[in-house]
Amino acid sequence: MHRGRVLYSLLLVLASATQVLAWGRGWTRVPTIVLVAPEQDIRLQVAREAIDFWNRTFTDLGTPFRLGTVTHTTTAIAGDYLEGMSAHVLQRTARPEVPESVQKISGDIIVVLSEGNFISFAASLPAEGKVLVGIKSAYRYPLTLSNVARNVIAHELGHALGLGHNDDPTTLMCGRPAPCRPDAFTASTARFFPLTEADKALLLKMYPPNWSGLQ
């Protein structure tokens, strides 16, 4: 029986490493987050706010699941790799090889606050058991607009948590193939766009009140 329990535990670990970024399939462990950006990047604060938004959402939904420890690194990630990953996600091009700089980052969800000009994305790295979130330059439209960056980051984190797109332009997870654009998140005051009731129901399905993942 002991051998069986050990095998079951190993299978859970393997499953948690492969169940990243599959719509409707949540994390089986508490995912840690690494923010990759220069020390003075203006998006670091709003990225932390986006993480707090999701953890407040889980509290409101009554699930014990939370995004885990957040750390920060200034490790440089090549812009051409991020552009290639963006094209891979959006245009189904070939997946670029994961560079050593990304492989060495130990977090489960790697959020790169890039200086590049590409469409922001979230992508699974199955062999590494990680999710890579790439956010375009803060000095490129539409992230130059007020309130947009925090919602773009929260939107991509929503994908990292297992949510897909919807077609309601007034909500956080609206996106392709619906004609939703990140500039719709513009607001004169800082706020996060809401989730749909379907999004909330899916989150509770993935992370129910009795959720008990690997810590």
Under CATH, what is the fold of the domain 30-206? Collagenase (Catalytic Domain) (3.40.390)
pLDDT at 11: 32
Task: Look over the chain and give the mean of its residue pLDDT values, rounded to a whole number.
Answer: 89
Q: Per-residue b/e over 159-190, b at no fewer than 16 CB within 10 Å?
A: bbbbbebbebeebbbbbeeeebebebbeeeee
Contacts of residue 145, defined as CB under 8 A and 6 or more positions apart, other chains included, come to 183, 185, 186
Note the residue count of the chain: 215
Span 155-209, pLDDT tens digits? 999 999 999 999 999 999 999 888 899 999 999 999 999 999 999 999 999 999 9
Phi, psi at residue 180, to the nearest 5°?
A: -100, 140
Strands 130-135 and 121-125: antiparallel
Query: Maximum Cα–Cα distance for the chain, whole Å?
Result: 60
Burial class (CB in 10 A: 0-12, 13-18, 19+), 38: exposed
pLDDT at 167: 93
Segment 5-20 shows an average pLDDT of 36
pLDDT at 209: 96
Segment 52-62 shows an average pLDDT of 98
Segment 58-80 shows an average pLDDT of 97
User: Where would I find the beta strands (DSSP E) of the chain?
Assistant: 33-36, 70-73, 109-113, 121-125, 130-135
Q: What is the 3-state secondary structure (H, E, C) of 31-47?
A: CCEEEECCCCCCHHHHH
Selected residue with higher pLDDT from 22 and 117: 117
Whether the per-residue pLDDT at 14 is higher than 70: the answer is no
| Euclidean distance between CA atoms 42 and 33, whole angstroms | 18
In the chain, where the domains are located: 30-206
Residue 72 binned pLDDT confidence (cut-offs 50, 70, 90): very high
DSSP annotation of 184 reads: G
Percent of the chain having pLDDT more than 70? 88
Whether the per-residue pLDDT at 10 is higher than 70: the answer is no
Span 92-123, pLDDT tens digits? 999 999 999 999 999 999 999 999 999 999 99
Residue 2 binned pLDDT confidence (cut-offs 50, 70, 90): very low
Span 136-156, pLDDT tens digits? 999 999 999 999 999 999 999
pLDDT at 70: 98
| Reported pTM | 0.89
| Euclidean distance between CA atoms 152 and 207, whole angstroms | 23
